[in-house]
Amino acid sequence: MFFCNYCSESFLAACSSQKKVNDHLPTVDLLDQQRYTFVARRVIPTEDARYNPRNMFPNASNMYQLTSRYDLRITPDSVVAYLPFFGRAYTAPINPSEGGIKFTSTNFSYKISMRKKNYEIQIIPNDNNEVRNLYLTVSPSGYASLNITSVNKTPIGYSGVIESNQ
């Protein structure tokens, strides 16, 4: 009796763990096929401590909730960014409506690797003079963080989720 219970519990445990692994496969497929959108939910600006008034308050957070939809759309032939920017810009755009991080790149490199159970994606837009690198770290459950390094702006980070392109 004990052996039967042990075997059935082991079988059920194996089935349940298999189900968890299979739940994450769609995210892996989206990343490999380059058909997904990173939807930003929070922004984490990296500001110079000398100019940051929040340093007067020791428990202040440097993370902001986003209330509108901002995203980074990845397809095999393009990368389209529509993201807000909070931080220091060393040059201002000529058109004030061109603030933030907004661009479309059709000439880019896309490298994906695995590190500590997370997927790390490096995107380098070759046809954009403003953005140097985009680093996207995606967990198996679909949560992600995006770090952007620009030429004329301080680095900025975002946290959010991965969605399928529709």
Q: CB count, 10 Å around CB of 89?
A: 13
Q: Which of 143, 144, 140 is closest to 157 using CA atoms? A: 144
Give the whole-angstrom CA distance, residue 157 versus residue 153.
12
- With beta carbons less than 8 A apart as the criterion, state whether 43 and 64 touch: yes
Domains (range + CATH), the chain:
24-164 (2.40.128.410)
Question: Worst-scoring range by mean pLDDT, 8-17, 22-31, 40-49?
Answer: 8-17
Give the whole-angstrom CA distance, residue 66 versus residue 38.
14
Task: Report pTM.
Answer: 0.77
pLDDT of residue 59: 58
Q: What pLDDT, in 10s, does the model give residues 77-132?
A: 999 999 998 888 888 778 877 788 999 999 999 999 998 889 999 999 999 888 99
